[in-house]
Structure 1
Amino acid sequence: MPIVIPGKRPAKRFEKSKILGGKFARAHKATNAELNVVPMVDMMTMLVIFLLQQFSSTGEVLYMQKDIKLPDARHGQIIEIAPVVAISAEQVVVTGVKVADVRELDSEGGYLNIPALEERLRDEKKRWDFIHQNDPEKKWEGAVNIQADKGVPFRIVKRVLFSCGVAGYFSVNFAALDAGTAVAATAPGGPGEG
């Protein structure tokens, strides 16, 4: 059976008919339609380039809040996956959850710890333990990334550091912008690190 162009066809007895046969004969027009794929290829190329530029090979993207201006650093390391404590001029946030207001922390005197921050960091440790309960080779490192605004007073940062230590996070990294490329990096700041 030969390959035929799809469409309406008259029955065999009407093919020679003057009424219907002529009508179907006139309906055969060229069905070749040209599709210009050049714009589509250009658009796909732009999308691929955009996605490659946005790709992070470390797997961790540090969400930078708009109200936090990070300090610049000349030497740093690549950011590792760890809970992020963000200290802005107005609030302290742990992995997207607000735990304290900076004004209240500044007005309180005496105690160094921040109970809500300690509780949230302990919850993060419990979550880490639950995720890695079947992986005995993975050891708890107690790492935390601190993302502090340039203008935050040191007494607030000191209270956050103390609360991190009480919660069991002893490996502290400070997020900073790489002075050469303006990319977020971490500067070691834990005990015994240089």
Structure 2
Amino acid sequence: MAEPTTPAPLSAVEEEQLARMRYRRALVRKKRKEREAAGEIKELNITAMMDMMTIILVFLLKSFASSSAAITASEDVRPPVSTTRATPKDTVAVTITPKNIMVGDKEVVRLKEGRIPAEQLQGRLVPALDVQLKKEVEKLKYIASRNPAAPFSHELSVIADKKVPYDMLLTVLYTAGQNELENYRFVVLKKGDD
């Protein structure tokens, strides 16, 4: 069995370094106690935070109080006029102009003489529009699966020029129906706003 060894005596230099280290620790403790005694804030003062949150809340309420349907300003689209009081909802938006069909801000079909070209039709289905609507629906379903406060509503907002032929409108609605967008809302101008 090995015998325990006793620590070797410290040299004068090591003792001086040890004393300085103890002094520094004591000094740090003393300064900390002085700060605490002087009334340093130990908790978070939330008054300023509440003011800031109130301002942000008012800003967000004002922002969301405005219409949520975004209509891109264009000379090509002149929606029909109505006396409705219903407010628009934030949904998948299909815009039909005399020149093209867009989903959101993305053009999916270029029209020829105000009609969908025959090569871009499969019966009543418009494949390019179908692909883009599938992407939008998948995105909305993904959001709904992650956020129960934003359920997938199966709604479509149609922003169409008042001169769009009824047959083209039916073709667009048929394609939307193939993508689970069964509830349609037509965006109109409030009477007196045109």
- Match of 2:132, SS state, is helix
User: How much has 1:140 moved relative to structure 2?
Assistant: 2.1
Contact 2:96 2:164 in 1 (8 A): yes
User: How much has 1:150 moved relative to structure 2?
Assistant: 1.1
* Structure 2 CA distance for aligned equivalents of residues 110 and 133 of structure 1: 32
* Structure 2 CA distance for aligned equivalents of residues 76 and 160 of structure 1: 25
Query: Alpha carbon RMSD of aligned pairs, Å?
Result: 2.5
Give the TM-score, by structure 1 length: 0.59
- Match of 2:123, SS state, is coil
| Structure 1 residue corresponding to 2:73, chosen from 65, 72, 81 | 65
| Structure 1 residue corresponding to 2:98, chosen from 72, 81, 89 | 89
| Structure 2 residue corresponding to 1:80, chosen from 84, 89, 101 | 89
Structure 2 residue aligned with 1:36: none
Counterpart mapping for 1:21-170 below 5 A: 57-58=65-66, 60-66=68-74, 67-103=76-112, 105-108=115-118, 111-136=123-148, 138-170=150-182
Give the TM-score, by structure 2 length: 0.59
Residue 188 (structure 2) pairs with residue 179 (structure 1): no
* Structure 2 CA distance for aligned equivalents of residues 110 and 123 of structure 1: 19
Gaps of 5+ in 1: 1-50, 184-194
Contact 1:102 1:156 in 2 (8 A): no
Larger radius of gyration: 2
State the number of aligned residues: 130
Contact 1:74 1:178 in 2 (8 A): yes
Relative to total residues, which structure has the larger helix share, 1 or 2? 2
* Structure 1 CA distance for aligned equivalents of residues 111 and 165 of structure 2: 10
What's the % identity of the aligned pairs? Answer: 19
Gaps of 5+ in 2: 1-58
* Structure 2 CA distance for aligned equivalents of residues 162 and 78 of structure 1: 25
